[in-house]
């Protein structure tokens, strides 16, 4: 006889683990299955794990602000011991440069005001006082090092920046996921690793369970696809791709790790579309440098089972771009950092939704910008699953989800698979 669970969650990255945790807290018998050997072992482990509240959409900012409260009280959220210890959240704040590219942050500032999220506007003198080694001249448009004009600064300085105090980072995203696993297990959730799903089984037009790579079957009336870069392949198994107005696909990304210049320690997270980079402090006084996907960088969409896992010239491109802003930066001869994948939706906003296949749900398109929202994503997906399994038609009447810490409510239709592309999206990422 096949094993049986109330819900099977495909994936044990940070979003999948959080969904398992939230359902288990509601009394569901849950099982997270993952093809990798541990929770958070895939793209989650490669995440820059930046926590921020500023978003180009109001709903995105509202959920990110809610998420910040979970990171501030991580022990309270987990509610269990972990033999490896709990992660540290570094609440450093985040500085974002005002540029023509981001419309001088006008939309984001309006969102902060509407949602009562704190922020500070900094002029160039304030930026220089906080980052005295920075060159604050404009370098835009963003170029590649072999393009004419690269590194040639304008006579003009950047307009200024906005500092968001409710922001920071986690230095060990894999440990954060392990913490959630232990929290889930403490309330009855189960995890199974080195386990590949090969089929989504159906019966009478509804989910019946999954078939595994060894041929065994697990029964469940609910299956949630949280498989990261494999999301489109799993959705294909379930036969739900044609009903989706928004799709997802895997994007290859490189993140650069470089040592900070002598005598300098990056004090907070930064985002700088004038040079096309975001940065955060890294342990050992290193700096992590990611790309904000400027137009001059070709996006590399790949098959998650077949992509180049080695560093390319892009590693050095990102380092050299940051060196425009930080001229004393030394660039090592040997590349260090990570090469991994994002699961990206057509408008870079995740899909948290049901489907037309009864009992089949998805939390996809989350890579690159949803690490920070994992605890909230777990709760809202648990709400969608529980309500829809009781007969609610989320397509016809989108669920209004209350945010515990901020007292607001979010229309979860914002994350629908059937939405139109959101033109307010930045169509980019901050790690």
DSSP state of 229: G
Residue 248 has pLDDT above 90, yes or no: yes
Task: List beta partners, residue 164.
Answer: 94
User: Would you call 3 helix, strand, or coil by DSSP?
Assistant: strand
Task: Supply the pTM of this predicted model.
Answer: 0.97
Q: Assign domain 90-167+250-339 to a CATH class.
A: alpha beta
Domain 3-86+172-247+347-415: CATH architecture, name and number where available: 3-Layer(bba) Sandwich (3.50)
- Where do you find CATH 3.50.50.60 in the chain? 3-86+172-247+347-415
User: Would you call 157 helix, strand, or coil by DSSP?
Assistant: strand
Mean pLDDT throughout 55-76?
A: 96
Residue 429 has pLDDT above 70, yes or no: no
- Quote the CA–CA distance of 331 and 31 in Å, as a whole number: 45
Task: List beta partners, residue 7.
Answer: 30
Nearest to 290 by CA among 301, 278, 281: 278
- Where do you find CATH 3.30.9.10 in the chain? 90-167+250-339
- Quote the CA–CA distance of 34 and 192 in Å, as a whole number: 6
Nearest to 353 by CA among 337, 336, 377: 377
The string of pLDDT tens digits covering residues 192-237 is 999 999 999 999 999 999 999 999 999 999 999 999 999 999 999 9
Q: What is the DSSP string of 341-364?
A: EEEEETTS--EEEE-SSBTEEEEE
The string of pLDDT tens digits covering residues 343-397 is 999 999 999 999 999 999 999 999 878 999 999 999 999 999 999 999 999 999 9
Chain-centre distance for alpha carbon 268: 19
- Quote the CA–CA distance of 63 and 74 in Å, as a whole number: 17
Q: Which two tokens stand for residue 169?
A: 């980072």
């Amino acid at each position: 006889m096949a094993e049986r669970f109330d819900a099977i969650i495909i994936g044990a990255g940070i979003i999948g683990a959080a969904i398992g945790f939230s359902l288990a807290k509601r009394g569901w018998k849950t099982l997270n299955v993952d093809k990798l050997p541990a929770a958070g072992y895939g793209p989650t482990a490669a995440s820059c794990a930046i926590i921020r509240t500023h978003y180009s959409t109001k709903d995105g900012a509202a959920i990110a602000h809610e998420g910040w409260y979970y990171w501030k009280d991580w022990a309270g959220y987990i509610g269990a011991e972990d033999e490896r210890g709990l992660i540290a959240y570094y609440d450093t704040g985040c500085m974002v440069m005002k540029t023509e590219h981001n419309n001088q942050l006008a939309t984001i500032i309006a969102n902060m005001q509407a949602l009562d999220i704190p922020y500070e506007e900094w002029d160039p003198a304030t930026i220089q006082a906080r980052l005295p080694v920075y060159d604050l001249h404009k370098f835009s448009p963003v170029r590649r090092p072999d393009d004419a004009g690269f590194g040639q600064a304008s006579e003009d300085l950047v307009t200024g920046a906005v500092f968001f105090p409710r922001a920071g980072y986690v230095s060990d995203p894999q440990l954060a996921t392990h913490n959630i696993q232990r929290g889930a297990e403490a309330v009855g959730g189960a995890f199974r690793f080195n386990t590949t799903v090969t089929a989504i089984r159906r019966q009478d037009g509804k989910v019946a369970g999954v078939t595994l790579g060894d041929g065994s079957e697990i029964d469940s009336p609910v299956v949630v696809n949280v498989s990261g870069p494999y999301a489109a392949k799993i959705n294909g198994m379930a036969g739900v791709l044609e009903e989706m107005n928004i799709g997802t696909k895997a994007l290859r990304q490189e993140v650069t790790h470089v040592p900070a210049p002598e005598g300098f320690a990056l004090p907070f997270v930064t985002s700088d579309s004038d040079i096309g980079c975001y940065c955060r402090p890294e342990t050992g006084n290193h700096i992590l440098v990611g790309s904000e996907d400027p137009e001059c960088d070709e996006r590399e969409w790949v098959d998650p089972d077949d992509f180049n896992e080695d560093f390319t010239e892009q590693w050095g491109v990102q380092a050299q771009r940051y060196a425009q802003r930080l001229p004393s930066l030394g660039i090592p001869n040997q590349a260090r950092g990570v090469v991994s994948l994002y699961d990206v939706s057509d408008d870079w906003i995740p899909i948290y939704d049901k489907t037309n296949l009864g009992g089949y749900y998805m939390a996809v398109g989350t890579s690159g910008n949803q690490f920070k929202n994992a605890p909230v994503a777990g709760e809202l997906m648990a709400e969608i699953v529980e309500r829809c399994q009781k007969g609610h038609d989320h397509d016809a009447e989108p669920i209004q989800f209350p945010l515990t810490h901020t007292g607001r409510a979010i229309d979860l239709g914002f994350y629908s698979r059937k939405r139109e592309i959101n033109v307010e999206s930045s169509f980019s990422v901050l790690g």
